[in-house]
Chain A
Amino acid sequence: DIQMTQSPSSLSASVGDRVAISCRASQDISSNLAWFQQKPGKAPKSLIYAASTLQSGVPSKFSGSGSGTDFTLTISSLQPEDFATYYCQQYNSYPLTFGGGTKVEIK
């Protein structure tokens, strides 16, 4: 199975900050990576697929980069509604696997 490792597991940031979340795959997954946002008590919401393509309706403050084994989700200018947990997922091969999540909290 492909292991997905996210870092950090949590971070504290202020409104207006730019944050970056890392996701590393245990083997080459090309660009077959997605990012999700989850708020407490809610289902995950798809933000990005194919490592860098925004889902329809997702604001451009979210961006994704990387290929192969190293990927980054960047959120520019954090707003109150962005405080949530973010997950990466590889869909390059079965079983699909998720990272452990990064909780973005208010400083």
Chain B
Amino acid sequence: EVQLVESGGGLVQPGGSLRLSCAASGFTFSDHYMDWVRQTPGKGLEWVGRIRNKAHSFTTEYAASVKGRFTISRDDSQNSLYLQMNSLKTEDTAVYYCARTGVHSDQDYWGQGTLVTVSS
């Protein structure tokens, strides 16, 4: 059974940093691209970014709203995905989901999400 479990969310002040983790199991993690998606009450679902697999040199893509502030990485030996968030803004407040990229580039499995609140 595919499982994705996020952790690391919490309350952080504007300008601060936070690192989210996503532990994957039930599939060959190293084969798949992985995504981060966030959800705010006001803006619905927003794709944050993607990291490709080793065969595609672990290259990344980011939404313009986070580019230069957020970094996606992965550790295939630990079946783990990460989201390093720096220079956080109040508008980054959201539930953050990790998702597995399916063979058609859609997101076929999602974690349960972790809440990030950026507030002073």
Nearest residue (CB) in B for A56 is B108
Is there contact, CB below 8 Å, between B47 and A98? yes
Which of the four size classes fits the interface of chain B?
20 to 34
Nearest residue (CB) in A for B67 is A95
* Chain A neighbourhood of B46, CB < 8 A: 98
Known contacts: A87-B44, A98-B47. The answer to whether A50 contacts B104 by CB under 8 A is yes
Nearest residue (CB) in A for B63 is A95
Chain A: interface secondary structure? Answer: loop
Chain A residues bordering chain B, tally (CB within 8 A) = 22
Query: Which B residues have a C-beta under 8 Å from some C-beta of A?
Result: 35, 37, 44-47, 50, 61-64, 97, 102, 104-113
Query: Which A residues have a C-beta under 8 Å from some C-beta of B?
Result: 32, 34, 36, 42-46, 49-50, 53, 55, 87, 89, 91, 94-98, 100-101
